[in-house]
Amino acid sequence: MTALACFFTIGRFAIHWHRRRRLAWDDFFNGVAMLFCLAFTATYHMFAPTEYNSQLAAMGIIPESEVKVGDPSLNARLNAANSLIFWCVIYTVKASFLALYWHIFEVSWKFRIAWAFAAVFTFISFTVTLMWGFWLCGIPKYFPDTQRKSKHSIANMRIQTASRSTGWRSML
């Protein structure tokens, strides 16, 4: 999926360059989102196989001998980085849409005012969401500390993030 997203993003750049001979702010934010998507994929593939195999062994699907023991501290840091990069991907895509809407509706003064409110709200929600990730396991100086026992473990960070952001906590 990441390769497909990169392909479409590069295709978008080519089309916009061919038609306009320049790239706009929405293209810039799409490019940044693509870079964050690559970083997200890389960090995910560094820690997920170990975590996945550990879960399969815990459920009895595969024997314990097939599980490679990884560094729990490294896995926690990669998981935390991956979760924070996820939000960077989401919000750079939102910024791309905001930039596109600015360009499309440049003739409407009332829309520009509504756009400004949406942009401020998006920036504030991004800041709160990103900072919330650091406060998830307690005080930010403990982020991401796997040894510290807290109500929220770093291993559950992605599930908690998804459930709080979508409001589907009961489904998880």
pLDDT digits (tens, 9 = 90+) for 126-151: 988 888 877 766 666 666 665 554 55
Confidence band for 94, pLDDT divided at 50, 70 and 90: very high
> What is the distance between the alpha carbons of residues 110 and 99, in angstroms, rounded to a whole number?
16
DSSP-assigned letter for residue 105:
T
pLDDT exceeds 70 at position 61:
yes
Residue 126: count of CB within 10 angstroms of its CB? 17
pTM: 0.68
Judge contact between 83 and 73, C-beta under 8 A. no
Judge contact between 82 and 42, C-beta under 8 A. no
Confidence band for 124, pLDDT divided at 50, 70 and 90: very high
The domain spans of the chain are 2-171
Q: What is the pLDDT of residue 77?
A: 79
